[in-house]
């Protein structure tokens, strides 16, 4: 038996993953345990979880592999600072102490951490290996995919040098084809607009994407004229005079601000039409570049399938456009496409490429097991915890549970849903979710403002029974990881009243966030203002309890869909444990909490003082 532990750490979204004889046994992000969003620290809790899931100790691991090569990254930093000198001196002084103290000697740092974790002497630790950053991304995308042969596209901010790379995956091998190097980065271009719009880089990109449909693409021409030059094959170069990320402490330069006529928006200030238009414009540019690259890949490699990873692969709007284009027969995207997924890819790279183990992909399912790879808790464990809180609850068998909860949802209640193994990656997929009725027009605003404590414009995703997806959405492939945006079918749409009748749906003159008040489909709370939705197809084989709940809801409402958003509030990671779930439940306006077969009603819980300090503990991003 061969045990391989993959680790990503020290930049953002640290994580651990465990392969046992080539099967993904467990994977989790450190933030879920530490409760620090995007935690970059050494993933001690995630590693301990992975080992416990396999009932082994660190001494039983054969290989430990880190997801990038710090010496090459250090080389890139030095070359960048030298090429821009003396401009980047302040940033250089800020970065170098950390590198000279910790990151440059990462191998020794890792050995120290692993020794402390396990009690083993450094000389007795398992073999330590390193993969390149984009190699880890590519491996995480191809090796768990259902394809025997495919192209692989990795697009992110930056790894060591690569910002965009293309690979050919065939059997158990990945062969690099071409790359675009730092500082020319589509991911960092998108992050520059995230920063300029007043959101936090490496977490606010979702907000920018969600804001885009409220705007108009007024700045597309300016972006192409001044910021980025794109060739027919999708390769590109940025004009670095407009950016500050290569050597500075901000993303954009004064020249960027002058181009768009203002300083960056201050976080938490009002969002204006300008931010919406900027979001729409950079989204359009991103989609067009991804499509050009995809067409070039198809022409040069002549393959039928595409796999994707890297942070830009989480842009589900661009992904939906790529599927709709028909360039490839199908695409598969790593659900943890960002740095966390690098832990999975690093482990797979050792198993298949270094150890040369044969790969036999499933033609029907991928190897990610629905991404349900995290912690799980029994009814007994949950009950024991709730008893310590003197929390009243009831317990039902599965059949009664599904019917009871479906009825609650159909009556407009908001339900916290804590079931089975925790999801790996940024999306809640029915394991750690907050659920609602998609037919309820007010549900989007209610869940955003009263439960998630976040901006009202943020869209919610529909979870739909996989076999009913085509009846509601213009999507002819599966989307189990909520990574594809698709249009709601025309017959389910409700067009705004353009007659100027003054009715509640009279929206002929609405702009910006006023569009939120429009009823756009039979499932308005999961239909974005452009008639699209970020679809999750729920499969009976990978998550039977969630599928049965949606099925029970359909029996009551004739709608096989639920609102699904992550079980957390703004600034907090998705809940991991029953303690996390109950604390979040009690500090929000959720009506019910369901943990496995146990149901709690908010109104029946012991009264607790409102903990206002708790909301201030988390950084508002």
pLDDT in tens, 176-203: 999 999 999 999 999 999 999 999 998 8
Residue-wise pLDDT for 120-140, tens only, equals 998 899 999 999 999 999 999
Residue 5 has which token pair?
């532990």
Query: Which three-class secondary structure state does DSSP give residue 190?
Result: helix
Tell whether the model's pLDDT for residue 64 goes beyond 90: yes
What string of DSSP letters covers 110-177? Answer: HHHHHHHHH---GGGSPEEEE--HHHHHHHHHHTTSS-SEEEEEEE-S-SSSEEEEEEEEETTEEEEE
Q: Assign 448 a pLDDT band (cuts: 50, 70, 90).
A: confident
Would you call 131 exposed, middle or buried from its count of C-beta atoms within 10 A (0-12, 13-18, 19+)? buried
In the chain, how many domains are there?
1
Three-class secondary structure assignment of 192-248: HHHHHCCCCCCCCHHHHHHHHHHCCCCCHHHHHHHHEEECCCCCEEECHHHECCCCC
Query: Which three-class secondary structure state does DSSP give residue 275?
Result: helix
Tell whether the model's pLDDT for residue 356 goes beyond 90: yes
Contact, 572 vs 618, CB < 8 A?
yes
Check residue 70 and give its pLDDT: 76
CATH of the domain at 438: 3.90.870.20
> What's the helix, strand, coil split of the chain in %, to 5?
40, 20, 40
Tokens 């915890």 belong to 385
Q: What's the mean per-residue pLDDT of the chain?
A: 91
CA distance 234 to 237: 10
Check residue 511 and give its pLDDT: 53
CA distance 212 to 190: 12
Say if 402 falls within a structural domain: yes
CA distance 547 to 402: 10
Three-class secondary structure assignment of 448-480: HHHHHCCCCCCCCEEEEEHHHHHHHECCCCCCC
Q: Assign 96 a pLDDT band (cuts: 50, 70, 90).
A: low
Check residue 611 and give its pLDDT: 46
Q: What's the pTM?
A: 0.92
Tell whether the model's pLDDT for residue 148 goes beyond 50: yes
Kindly tell me the number of DSSP H helices and DSSP E strands found in the chain.
20, 21
Would you call 85 exposed, middle or buried from its count of C-beta atoms within 10 A (0-12, 13-18, 19+)? exposed
Tell whether the model's pLDDT for residue 244 goes beyond 60: yes
Q: Assign 444 a pLDDT band (cuts: 50, 70, 90).
A: confident
Say if 98 falls within a structural domain: no
Q: Which residues have a Cβ under 8 Å from the Cβ of 210 and sit 6 or more positions away?
A: 457, 458, 459, 528
Q: Give mean pLDDT, residues 68-78.
A: 72
Q: Assign 494 a pLDDT band (cuts: 50, 70, 90).
A: very high
Tell whether the model's pLDDT for residue 503 goes beyond 50: no
> Which range is least confidently modeled, 75-89, 462-476, 529-543?
75-89
Enumerate the β-bridge partners of residue 330.
305
Tell whether the model's pLDDT for residue 619 goes beyond 50: no
Check residue 77 and give its pLDDT: 67
Residue 343 has which token pair?
């832990």
CA distance 458 to 456: 6
> Which range is least confidently modeled, 257-271, 324-338, 436-450, 573-587?
436-450
Dmax over CA atoms of the chain, in Å, equals 78
Q: Give mean pLDDT, residues 88-108.
A: 67
Check residue 84 and give its pLDDT: 62
Tell whether the model's pLDDT for residue 621 goes beyond 50: no
Distances (CA, A) of 599 to 87, 398, 411, 457: 59, 12, 16, 30
Tell whether the model's pLDDT for residue 72 goes beyond 70: yes
Q: Assign 326 a pLDDT band (cuts: 50, 70, 90).
A: very high
Q: Which domain holds residue 538?
A: 379-610
CA distance 70 to 592: 47
Contact, 341 vs 481, CB < 8 A?
no
CA distance 428 to 567: 7
Tell whether the model's pLDDT for residue 76 goes beyond 60: yes
> Which range is least confidently modeled, 77-91, 274-288, 401-415?
77-91
Say if 440 falls within a structural domain: yes
Check residue 94 and give its pLDDT: 67
CA distance 352 to 21: 11
Say if 438 falls within a structural domain: yes
Q: Which residues have a Cβ under 8 Å from the Cβ of 273 and sit 6 or more positions away?
A: 215, 511, 512
> Which range is least confidently modeled, 126-135, 164-173, 498-507?
498-507
Check residue 514 and give its pLDDT: 63
Please, what is the Cα angle at 163 between 267 and 242, to 5 degrees?
50
Q: Assign 609 a pLDDT band (cuts: 50, 70, 90).
A: low
Check residue 590 and give its pLDDT: 96
Say if 27 falls within a structural domain: no
| HSE value, Cβ hemisphere, 13 Å, CA-based, for 590 | 28
Residue-wise pLDDT for 19-31, tens only, equals 999 999 999 999 9
Q: Give mean pLDDT, residues 76-83.
A: 64
Say if 284 falls within a structural domain: no
Say if 397 falls within a structural domain: yes
Tokens 């959405």 belong to 473
CA distance 206 to 411: 30
Q: How far is CA 303 from the centre of its chain?
A: 27
Q: Which residues have a Cβ under 8 Å from the Cβ of 77 and sit 6 or more positions away?
A: 95, 99
Query: Which three-class secondary structure state does DSSP give residue 400?
Result: helix
CA distance 194 to 613: 28
Say if 432 falls within a structural domain: yes
Q: Can you say whether the dihedral through the CA atoms of 127, 145, 321, 432 is positive or negative?
A: negative
Tokens 């570049």 belong to 289
Tokens 């959101």 belong to 199
CA distance 586 to 255: 47
Check residue 458 and give its pLDDT: 78
Q: Can you say whether the dihedral through the CA atoms of 69, 71, 76, 80 is positive or negative?
A: positive
Query: Which three-class secondary structure state does DSSP give residue 272?
Result: coil
């Amino acid at each position: 038996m061969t045990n391989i532990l993959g680790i990503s750490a020290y930049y953002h979204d640290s994580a651990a993953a465990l392969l046992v004889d080539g099967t993904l046994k467990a994977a989790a992000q450190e933030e879920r345990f530490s409760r620090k969003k995007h935690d970059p620290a050494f993933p001690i809790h995630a590693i301990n979880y992975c080992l416990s899931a396999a009932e082994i100790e660190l001494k039983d691991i054969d290989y430990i592999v880190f997801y990038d090569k710090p010496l090459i990254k250090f080389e890139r930093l030095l070359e960048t600072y030298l090429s821009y000198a003396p401009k980047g001196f302040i940033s250089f002084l800020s970065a170098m102490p950390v590198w000279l103290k910790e990151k440059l000697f990462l191998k020794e740092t890792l050995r120290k951490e692993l020794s402390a974790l396990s009690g083993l002497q450094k000389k007795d630790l398992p073999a330590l290996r390193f993969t390149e950053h984009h190699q880890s991304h590519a491996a995480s995308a191809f090796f768990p995919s259902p394809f025997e042969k495919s192209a692989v596209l990795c697009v992110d901010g930056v790894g060591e040098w690569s910002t965009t790379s293309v690979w050919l995956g065939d059997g158990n091998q990945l062969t690099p084809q071409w790359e675009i190097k730092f500082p020319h980065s589509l991911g960092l271009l998108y992050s520059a607009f995230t920063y300029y719009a007043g959101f936090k880089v490496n977490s606010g990109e979702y907000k920018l994407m969600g804001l885009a449909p409220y705007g108009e693409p007024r700045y597309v021409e300016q972006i192409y004229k001044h910021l980025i030059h794109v060739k027919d094959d999708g390769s590109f170069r940025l004009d670095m005079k407009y950016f500050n990320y290569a050597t500075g402490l901000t993303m954009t330069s004064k020249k960027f601000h002058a181009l768009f006529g203002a300083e960056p928006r201050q976080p938490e200030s009002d969002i204006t039409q300008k931010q919406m238009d900027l979001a729409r414009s950079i989204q359009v540019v991103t989609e067009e570049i991804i499509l050009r690259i995809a067409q070039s890949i198809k022409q040069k490699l002549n393959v039928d399938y595409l796999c994707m990873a890297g942070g830009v692969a989480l842009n589900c709007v661009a992904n939906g456009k790529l599927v709709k284009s028909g360039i490839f027969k199908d695409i598969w995207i790593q659900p943890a496409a960002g740095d966390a997924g690098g832990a999975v890819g690093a482990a797979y790279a050792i198993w298949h490429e270094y150890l040369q183990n044969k790969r036999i992909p499933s033609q029907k399912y991928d190897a990610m097991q629905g991404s349900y790879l995290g912690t799980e808790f029994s009814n007994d464990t949950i009950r024991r915890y709730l008893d310590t809180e003197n929390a009243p609850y009831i317990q039902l068998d599965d059949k009664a549970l599904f019917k009871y909860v479906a009825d609650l949802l159909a009556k407009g209640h908001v339900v916290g849903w804590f079931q089975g193994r925790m999801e790996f990656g940024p999306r809640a997929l029915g394991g750690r979710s907050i659920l609602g009725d998609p037919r309820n027009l007010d549900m989007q605003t209610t869940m955003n403002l009263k439960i998630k404590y976040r901006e009202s414009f943020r869209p919610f995703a529909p979870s739909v029974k996989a076999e009913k997806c085509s009846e509601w959405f213009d999507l002819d492939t599966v989307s189990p990881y909520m990574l594809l945006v698709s249009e709601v079918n025309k017959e389910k749409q409700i067009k705004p009243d353009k007659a100027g009748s003054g009715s509640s749906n009279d929206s002929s003159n609405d702009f910006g966030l006023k569009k939120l008040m429009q009823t756009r489909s039979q499932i308005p709370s999961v239909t974005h203002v452009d008639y699209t939705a970020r679809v999750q197809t729920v499969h009976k084989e990978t998550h039977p309890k969630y599928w049965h709940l949606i099925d029970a809801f359909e029996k009551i409402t004739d709608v096989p869909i639920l609102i699904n958003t992550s079980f957390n509030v703004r600034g907090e990671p998705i809940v991991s444990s029953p303690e996390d779930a109950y604390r979040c439940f009690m500090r929000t306006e959720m009506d019910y909490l369901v943990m496995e077969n146990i149901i709690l009603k908010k109104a029946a819980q012991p009264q607790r003082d409102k903990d206002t300090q708790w909301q201030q503990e988390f950084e508002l991003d």
